[in-house]
């Protein structure tokens, strides 16, 4: 029996040495150590041994069994390593192969201009405020001192959301002024860029959706001089040191006095041409000193504080900045146009 056990051991080792696949390894295990395997068969014959022989053979059988088990796990480790090596060879990466080129996009001309304007104002200590595009008429009209019956309130001009005219798509960014003043006490220095909506037909200079940049400064002793200084600095920042501005008296219900600001035409230098429609100047924003009634309506004492406000037409500013002559190009997203910036 002893010889038989030694023989099993030798055969098992030989079989394991020639194993190449995990499935073969399992077969070898079953053949030698399985329930119906060779070791089990031998151990079943233990009963026929003499009481002296039994513990000796038993001990030897255990020893051989554990030796075969060890060889099996060594073989498993060898197979695993071989498998890994083969995979590494097969899946070798060539890191020198050129990659697939990624097409880089870039900013839309409107975003370039809006970012420049934001940089300018943030540098002057302004923060950026936001307001809803679906606005309450109370904020877009009443609290801005725009009376009942004013033309901007008409259905031909404004996209009303409700029949009672209490909610509409804001037609200007000015309601953000009110929202800020109701929450924040002076000193206030904010800008609010965003979309506005008016019932205009699409043409080279009109769109039912466009962008404005609202600005508001409220503090003690703010004057028209502060307004002019700020606007002139902005225009020079965006159009260059030599740009020329003109402040023209105007009327807005929420400012007193009010003005409009023109920039001298960059094409003709003020003589009048096709781009400025013969005017020599291009209007870019409305502005003025915040009306005392608007301040008071927001809980700010107009005897203690004063302020200036402005609303910039962002498309106009962009068109002049990049020499774009048709506003439709800004919204059409034609790659042949956008790639030029
Ligand atoms: N909201 C005005 C418009 O859409 C522009 C404007 C004018 C804004 C004067 C202001 C301002 O803040 O003070 O035409």
Nearest C-alpha to atom 5 of ligand 1 is from which residue?
Answer: 311
User: Is the pLDDT confidence value at 110 over 90?
Assistant: yes
User: Is the pLDDT confidence value at 275 over 80?
Assistant: no
Nearest C-alpha to atom 7 of ligand 1 is from which residue?
Answer: 286
| For range 119-128, the mean pLDDT | 98
Nearest C-alpha to atom 4 of ligand 1 is from which residue?
Answer: 172
- Kindly state the percentage of the chain with pLDDT values over 70: 100
CB 23 within 8 A of CB 78: no
Nearest Cα to Cα of residue 282 among 240, 340, 235? 235
User: Residue 92 — very low, low, confident or very high, per pLDDT cuts 50/70/90?
Assistant: confident
Predicted pLDDT at 320: 86
Site to probe by mutation for ligand 1, drawn from 141, 174, 212 as the one with most ligand atoms within 8 Å of Cβ, is: 174
Lowest mean pLDDT, pick from 32-41, 194-203, 295-304: 32-41
| For range 105-126, the mean pLDDT | 96
User: Is the pLDDT confidence value at 266 over 80?
Assistant: no
User: Residue 58 — very low, low, confident or very high, per pLDDT cuts 50/70/90?
Assistant: confident
Question: Which residues does a 6 A CB cutoff place in the pocket of ligand 1?
Answer: 172, 174, 214, 252, 255, 286-288, 309-311
Distance 191 CA to ligand 1 centre (A): 12
Predicted pLDDT at 292: 98
Please indicate whether residue 155 or residue 126 has the higher confidence score (pLDDT): 126
Site to probe by mutation for ligand 1, drawn from 310, 312, 314, 316 as the one with most ligand atoms within 8 Å of Cβ, is: 310
Please indicate whether residue 41 or residue 229 has the higher confidence score (pLDDT): 229
| For range 186-194, the mean pLDDT | 98
pTM strictly above 0.85? no
What's the Rg (C-alpha) of the chain?
A: 42
Distance 254 CA to ligand 1 centre (A): 8
Burial environment of residue 184 by CB neighbours within 10 A (0 to 12, 13 to 18, 19 or more): middle
Nearest C-alpha to atom 2 of ligand 1 is from which residue?
Answer: 311
| For range 97-119, the mean pLDDT | 93
* Separation between Cα atoms, residue 217 and residue 306, nearest integer Å: 8
**E-assigned strands of 172-280?**
188-197, 209-219, 245-252, 255-264
Distance 174 CA to ligand 1 centre (A): 6
What residue has token string 């402005």? 310
Predicted pLDDT at 39: 84
Lowest mean pLDDT, pick from 93-97, 108-112, 206-210, 230-234: 93-97
Strand 209-219's sheet: what is its strand order?
A: 127-128, 188-197, 209-219, 306-313, 281-290, 255-264, 245-252
| For range 147-174, the mean pLDDT | 93
CB 328 within 8 A of CB 207: yes
Please indicate whether residue 254 or residue 95 has the higher confidence score (pLDDT): 254
- Kindly state the percentage of the chain with pLDDT values over 90: 71
User: Is the pLDDT confidence value at 170 over 90?
Assistant: yes
Q: Please provide the average confidence, as pLDDT, over all residues in the chain.
A: 93
Predicted pLDDT at 22: 87
Distance 330 CA to ligand 1 centre (A): 22
Residue 299's region, left for phi above 0, alpha for psi from -120 to 50, else beta, is: left
């Amino acid at each position: 029996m002893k010889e038989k056990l030694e023989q099993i051991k030798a055969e098992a080792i030989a079989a394991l040495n020639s194993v190449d696949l995990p499935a073969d390894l399992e077969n070898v295990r079953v053949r030698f150590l399985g329930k119906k395997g060779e070791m089990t068969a031998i151990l079943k014959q233990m009963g026929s041994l003499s009481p002296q022989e039994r513990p000796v053979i038993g001990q030897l059988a255990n020893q051989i069994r554990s030796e075969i088990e060890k060889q099996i796990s060594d073989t498993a480790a060898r197979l695993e390593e071989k498998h890994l090596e083969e995979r590494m060879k097969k899946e070798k990466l060539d890191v020198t192969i050129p990659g697939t080129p990624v097409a880089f996009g870039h900013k839309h001309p409107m975003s370039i201009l809006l970012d420049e304007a934001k940089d300018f104002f943030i540098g002057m200590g302004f923060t950026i405020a936001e307001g809803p595009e679906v606005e309450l008429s109370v904020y877009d009209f009443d609290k801005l001192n725009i009376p009942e019956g004013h033309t901007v309130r008409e259905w031909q001009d404004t996209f009303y959301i409700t029949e009672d005219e209490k909610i509409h798509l804001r037609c200007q960014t000015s309601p953000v002024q009110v929202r800020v003043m109701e929450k924040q006490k002076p000193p206030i220095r904010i800008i609010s860029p965003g979309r506005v909506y008016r019932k205009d037909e699409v043409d080279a200079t009109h769109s039912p959706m466009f962008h404005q940049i609202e600005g508001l400064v409220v503090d003690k002793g703010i004057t028209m001089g502060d307004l002019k200084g700020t606007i002139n600095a902005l225009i020079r920042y965006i159009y260059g040191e030599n740009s020329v501005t003109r402040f023209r008296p105007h009327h807005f219900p929420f400012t007193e006095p009010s003005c409009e600001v023109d920039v001298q035409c960059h094409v003709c230098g003020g003589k009048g041409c096709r781009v400025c429609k013969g005017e020599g100047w291009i209007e870019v924003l409305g502005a003025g000193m915040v009306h005392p009634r608007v301040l008071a309506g927001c809980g700010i004492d107009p005897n203690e504080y004063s302020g200036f406000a402005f609303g910039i037409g962002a498309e106009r500013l962009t068109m002049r900045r990049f020499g774009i002559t048709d506003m439709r190009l800004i919204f059409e997203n034609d790659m042949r146009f956008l790639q030029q910036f």
